């Protein structure tokens, strides 16, 4: 008799349960308090109760945890200097969505050789998140695979649904049950209606199939996530960080009945034309809008690493430049610190003048 199931499945491997992984890399009371407080801070900013801006800053993707820790320590030190103006969150992306093929991130392929040792990737990633949390620095990450959050989401203070998955019903349902605020990016084409629909959907109760902490397949029923919001990242139609784009986004959300509509603006991707040297320009434009009274902008995103630019991975780890992205090009640390310190100073002056 011919087989009917798993015809194209080459191998089935057991995976550690979320509970087992958390037993190996466990939180403590201090970390729990830090994550809870960070999530509340993000909620307060999105709701307008806290006048600071969220700044999600960090590498396009994490491929070298040693460089990631060095970056985290620099970001934590910077956060203490501008904490009255910005709530800094380190961008820690472990999963990479792909239009075609390519490296899918540290969790899926930690050895970057198509071996897909996901078991190893989960261990490395949770260990890395714990080390960041121990330094008291909030983390933001994109949620791509619907199973992965059960392993790491307790260490995440803010998350995003990317441009390629914002239309996905699975991801909308997933966001409605996430324990932290979730931002939906507009689609790669730039259409805002799709993302606004996603935000509205995720704010309502839903159900989806997933796993529990023991790894059992189950039905997860959500109550809706009131802190879902919109991320403007531009599209093939062009950038969308200008004042009229923000106004359109707010109007669309208000028209959909979304209370306290707010946006975070991604200074990279299509808003910068995928040129890291233009992120400063986008950032400056957004800050001008904030200083001139645009209240619905809740934050910004910057792709930043220890050193600017990007590099191709040849397959030889010894050839990699330390602290340089292997995915999207990033601005370097010196520029990151400079523009955030300058923006904080501008915000101080603006608030004193009011």
> Which residue is it, tokens 């949390």?
133
In terms of Cα–Cα distance, which of 218, 301, 252, 264 is closest to 18?
218
Residue 350 pLDDT:
78
Backbone phi, psi, residue 35, to 5°: -65, -45
Q: How far is CA 252 from the centre of its chain?
A: 23
pLDDT tens, residue by residue, 240-254: 999 999 999 999 999
Reported residue count of the chain is 354
* Exposure on the CB side of residue 349, measured as CA atoms within 13 A: 10
In terms of Cα–Cα distance, which of 216, 214, 167 is closest to 193?
167
Rounded to an integer, what distance in angstroms lies between the CA atom of residue 70 and that of residue 49?
A: 32
Task: Determine whether 131 is exposed, middle or buried from the number of CB atoms within 10 Å of its CB (0-12, 13-18, 19+).
Answer: middle
Q: Where are the domains of the chain?
A: 18-353
Q: Rounding to the nearest 10 degrees, give the CA dihedral for residues 241, 246, 249, 254.
A: 160
The CATH number of 18-353 is 3.20.20.70
Residue 230 pLDDT:
98
How far is the CA of 319 from the CAs of 196, 278, 315, in angstroms?
Answer: 43, 28, 8
Take residue 162 and report the two structure tokens written for it. 């990317």
Residue 354 pLDDT:
66
Residue-averaged pLDDT of the chain: 96
Positions of the chain with pLDDT under 70: 98-100, 354
Q: Could you give the residue ranges of the DSSP H alpha helices within 225-302?
A: 243-255, 279-291
Check: CB of residue 129 under 8 Å from CB of residue 139.
yes
């Amino acid at each position: 008799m011919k087989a009917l199931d798993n015809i194209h499945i080459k191998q089935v491997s057991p995976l550690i349960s979320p509970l087992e992984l958390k037993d190996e890399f466990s939180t403590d009371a201090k970390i729990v308090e830090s994550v809870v407080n960070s999530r509340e801070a993000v909620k307060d900013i999105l709701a307008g109760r806290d006048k600071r801006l969220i700044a999600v800053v960090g590498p396009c993707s994490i491929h070298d945890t040693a460089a990631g820790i060095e970056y985290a320590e620099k970001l934590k030190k910077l956060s203490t200097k501008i904490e009255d103006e910005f709530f800094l969150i380190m961008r820690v992306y472990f999963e990479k969505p792909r239009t075609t093929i390519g490296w899918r991130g540290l969790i899926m392929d930690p050895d970057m050789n198509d071996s897909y040792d996901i078991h190893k990737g989960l261990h490395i990633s949770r260990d890395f998140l714990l080390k960041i949390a121990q330094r008291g620095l909030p983390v933001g990450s994109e949620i791509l695979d619907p199973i992965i959050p059960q392993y790491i989401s307790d260490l995440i203070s803010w998350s995003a649904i990317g441009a390629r998955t914002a239309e996905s019903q699975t991801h909308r349902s997933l966001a409605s049950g996430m324990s932290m605020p979730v931002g939906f990016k507009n689609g790669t084409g730039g259409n805002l209606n799709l993302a606004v629909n996603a935000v509205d959907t995720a704010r309502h109760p839903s159900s989806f199939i997933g796993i529990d902490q023991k790894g059992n397949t189950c039905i997860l029923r959500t109550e809706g996530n009131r802190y879902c919001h919109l991320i403007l990242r531009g599209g093939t139609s062009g950038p969308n960080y200008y004042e009229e784009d923000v106004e359109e986004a707010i109007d669309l959300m208000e028209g959909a009945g979304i209370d306290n509509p707010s946006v975070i603006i991604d200074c990279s991707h299509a808003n910068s034309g995928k040129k890291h040297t233009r992120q400063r320009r986008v950032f400056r434009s957004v800050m001008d809008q904030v200083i001139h009274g645009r209240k619905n902008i809740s934050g910004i995103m910057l792709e930043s690493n220890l050193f600017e630019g990007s590099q191709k991975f040849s397959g030889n780890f010894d050839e990699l430049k330390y602290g340089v992205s292997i995915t999207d090009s990033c601005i370097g640390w010196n520029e990151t610190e400079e523009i955030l310190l300058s923006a904080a100073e501008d915000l101080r002056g603006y608030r004193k003048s009011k």
